Amino acid sequence: MGGGGSVGGNPATIADGGAKLRTAASGVSSRSTGASHAGSQGSSAAGDARMAAAISRFAAAAGAMTDGLGKQLDAAALLATNASKDLSTATGGHR
């Protein structure tokens, strides 16, 4: 890949960003359950079998999407945490 440029940045700032991403991941993931619950309530109130099935499919997709987004944010948080530690080590800090 090449490289050889200088390494820089503030490990504490990166770690703080990771913590904020982790908080966001938790918030997004909790909405997955809410979407599924709302879908089951909505489908039972639809009054039409085709509409109920469509609502159920939509809610399942929305739940899966928010769950996946939460996992991606959590992975980004882990990357930031690890990058902070690596940067600290590379620049001579001790973490």
Higher pLDDT, 10 or 6: 10
pLDDT at 76 (0 to 100): 96
Q: Which of 5-14, 18-27, 53-62, 74-83 has the lowest mean pLDDT?
A: 5-14
Q: What is the pLDDT of residue 27?
A: 87
Range 82-89 average pLDDT: 92
Q: Which two tokens stand for residue 40?
A: 């089951």
What is the distance between the alpha carbons of residues 2 and 29, in angstroms, rounded to a whole number?
38
Dump the DSSP string for 42-70.
Answer: HHHHS-SHHHHHHHHHHHHHHHHHHHHHH
> In whole angstroms, what separates CA 80 from the centre of its chain?
13
Cα–Cα distance for residue pair 6/77, rounded to 1 Å: 24
Q: What is the pLDDT of residues 23-72, one digit of tens each?
A: 999 888 888 888 888 888 888 888 889 999 999 899 989 988 998 999 99
Distance CA 15, CA 90 (A): 15
Measured in whole angstroms, the distance separating CA 60 from the mean position of its chain's CA atoms is: 18
